[in-house]
Structure 1
Amino acid sequence: MNRTTALLVIDVQTGIVEGTSDQQPVYQKESLLQTIQALIDRARRRSIPVLYVQDVDVKAAGEEAFAIHPALQPAPDEPVILKKATDSFHGTDLHDQLQALGIDHLVIVGCKTEYCVDSACRKATTLGYDVTLVHDGHSTTGNAALRAEQIIAHHNTCLHGLSNLDPFIIVRPAKEDVFVPIHDSYR
């Protein structure tokens, strides 16, 4: 089956990646930025659509913490979808934009693993998208119960193979050709 892929870059805002006065930076931020930038570059070279999601609750628009990280700036023709919920699809036109592009496979990267990345992966499958979550392309901060690396490892494990009806999530490292879905080989 021929698939049409898009790269979805979630909440890579300066205040999340770099942290703020009251919040730590995400785990291994330098490595995360390099991985996501390399994937964005690969997608652009192959004319794969890149869509960004930006959380309006991070900080006020116009503040540095609200802005998409300078290392990961969208190109002028790449959509930036503003969201209020952890779910990138809720109350936004993300699904409509993806449908207009004929997308049926999403490669997902971004922040934070247990909130917005997890929500987007799960919701995407219920909307009919196969999802490739990039193993080393998402990050978070630790909390009172778990260190950041434990949260990331847990989500890489529990989301791999998660299905809702037919579409499902596969977790793959960025070094693989994540833009070519392998879901059909498991069906």
Structure 2
Amino acid sequence: MKQRSALVIIDVQNGVLDGEAPVQGTSALLANIGALLSCARDRGVPVIHVQDDEVGEAGSAAWDIHASIAPAGGEERVRKLACDAFFETDLAARLERLGVDHLVVAGCKTEFCVDTTCRRAVTLGFGVTLAADAHGTSDSPALPAAAIVAHHNRLLDGFGVMVAGRPCEIRAVPIAQIEL
């Protein structure tokens, strides 16, 4: 059975990218997310933008999604207050309504919202493709951002569970190899 995918872009907000702990490599990150977004739009793949309501006041410049990947007409937005984009949101219901069983995930920040949302998605029965070169984060006191991204790509690749008798897992794949 062919999977029905959706592109889920997490927290690519101005206040995350340029905030107190800025995301590293934003130019490449935005270009890669933009390439996925363009492909999804061209192929009619549903796009869902996730926004963290704790990043600035709703409607502020910090809260807004970066202009280069801003939602187009008909693209959905999910507002959240936790790292898990499914927690106390209607994301799962929206995906169900769209007939989606596979997510392509990109966005910010790798070790927080991207990781948590990917892990939760598989436990809810979704297959996940983590766009290995389209998620990013900030340097931490322990590791530079690039090492955090590389570590999570390796850590999450192959993570999965059996749900209703079928395997649901995460695959970390560069955007050049992702088919939407």
More strand by share: 2
Query: RMSD across aligned C-alpha pairs, in angstroms?
Result: 0.8
**Which runs of 5 or more structure 1 residues have no equivalent in the other structure?**
180-187
Aligned 8 A contact 1:172 1:178 in 2: no
Aligned with 1:79 (options 65, 76, 81): 76
The residue aligned with 1:55 is 52
- Give the percent of matched residue pairs that are identical in Structure 1 and Structure 2: 44
Distance 1:15 1:9 in 2: 15
Distance 2:133 2:42 in 1: 21
Aligned 8 A contact 1:52 1:78 in 2: yes
The residue aligned with 1:176 is 177
2:120 aligned with 1:119:
no
Aligned 8 A contact 1:160 1:170 in 2: yes
- How far did residue 61 of structure 1 move? 1.1
Q: What TM-score, normalized by structure 2, do the two folds share?
A: 0.95
The residue aligned with 2:4 is 4
SS at match of 1:12: coil
Aligned with 1:89 (options 86, 98, 101): 86
The residue aligned with 2:16 is 16
Distance 1:61 1:129 in 2: 29
- Please identify runs of 4+ aligned residues in structure 1 that moved more than 4 A: none
Equivalent position amino acid for 2:11 in 1? D
Matched length = 176
